[in-house]
Amino acid sequence: MTAKRTLGQFTINPIGLGCMCLSHGYGDPTDEADAARLLHRALDIGYDFLDTAAIYGSGHNEELIGRVLKARRGEFVLASKCGFGRSRRDPQPDRFVDGRPEAIDEVLDLSLGRLGVEHIDLYYLHRPDPLVPIEESVGALARAVEAGKIGAIGLSEVSADQLRRAHATHPIAALQTEYSLWTRNPEIAGLAACRDLGVTFVAFSPVGRGFLAGALADRPALSQDDMRRVMPRFIDPQLTHNLAWFAEYRAMADEIGCTPAQLALAWLLQRDPALVTIPGTTSIGHLEENMAAGGLSLSPERMDALDALINQRTVAGARYTPAMQRSVATEEFA
């Protein structure tokens, strides 16, 4: 198993658990009894970093974790997020970004209540608010640190410049952004900024929202509530293009003797020896499979072959729709 890594004042397994899909994003919420079994199994086999957010299931995900793991709270580092929700300020989409200090204060108190705790280990600004300077948003989070409500500050989907400005206001412990074989945007500037500042990079969707695990290989019908239905990479003709190289990718995994998901996680863990990943799942089998990826070692030649097969030039389709893209500030390839 891969050695533990540092995130702020915490030492954690580099394979954490993204809890979103238990409540939100890929169809109906998981049955609570099944979700409880998965969360307990995660702690039993070594997961010690759990990631949630106020917006996941409109608070359901935080309530779930707080209720199910109340008696085991001391066994894991808890991360949640604020700044993404609903607002009357934006009459267009019902999802919006709100980084105003008063909004952060309000959502944090709601998160503490839903989680049933007085302190959250790591609290992120989920998205940068284009109407609020990052320094103001981070200032509110810094005051929450001083008040003892949170232990460390994180940022999600911000630019390298925003990260540097935020870090000058208050030390930032983590930057969370999508990163995988098929999403390389952090390699433009985000990873370098993290190294310069001593910030831990947290890679979400490390198996490409299931694509790199083979979830779309047989073209299943996605439910109406599955966010991937509108994402360009999951729609033809982009999907057909991406499934063509996925066949070669899966053959590489078979040759190594691992699953496609394990190969994707192993590539990330070797690509950057400091980052942390948070794959999500609703399956205990996949939960165990992902954790086992920590014991997989790839040769330099295999790393190069993967890098050549899947990258920003070989993947078809943007990672977000234009509307979704407007909520993030991460650097984009030309």
User: In the prediction, which pLDDT does 86 show?
Assistant: 54
Q: Which CATH architecture has domain 5-325?
A: Alpha-Beta Barrel (3.20)
Separation between Cα atoms, residue 60 and residue 28, nearest integer Å: 12
pTM comes to 0.94
Place of tokens 């030039």: 313
Report strand pairing: 10-12 vs 5-7: antiparallel
- Where do runs of H (alpha helix) occur along 118-256? 134-146, 160-169, 190-197, 238-256
Reported as a single tens digit per residue, the pLDDT across 117-159 is 999 999 999 999 999 999 999 999 999 999 999 999 999 999 9
Catalytic, 56? Answer yes
Of 56, 123, 179, 320, catalytic: 56
Cα atoms in the 13 Å half-sphere on the side-chain side of 321: 10
Among 231, 186, 192, 188, residue whose Cα is nearest residue 211? 231
Domain layout of the chain by residue ranges = 5-325
Q: What is the DSSP string of 155-195?
A: EES--HHHHHHHHHHS---EEEEE-BTTB-GGGTTHHHHHH
Which ranges of the chain have pLDDT less than 50?
87-95
For residue 2, give the nearest of 284, 304, 276, 205 by alpha carbon.
276
- How far is the first Cα of the chain from the last one, in angstroms, to the nearest whole number? 37
Q: Select from 310, 332, 267 the least CA-distant residue to 15.
A: 267
Q: Which of 113, 92, 123, 111 is nearest to 54 (CA)?
A: 111
> Is there a contact between 180 and 207 (Cβ–Cβ < 8 Å)?
yes
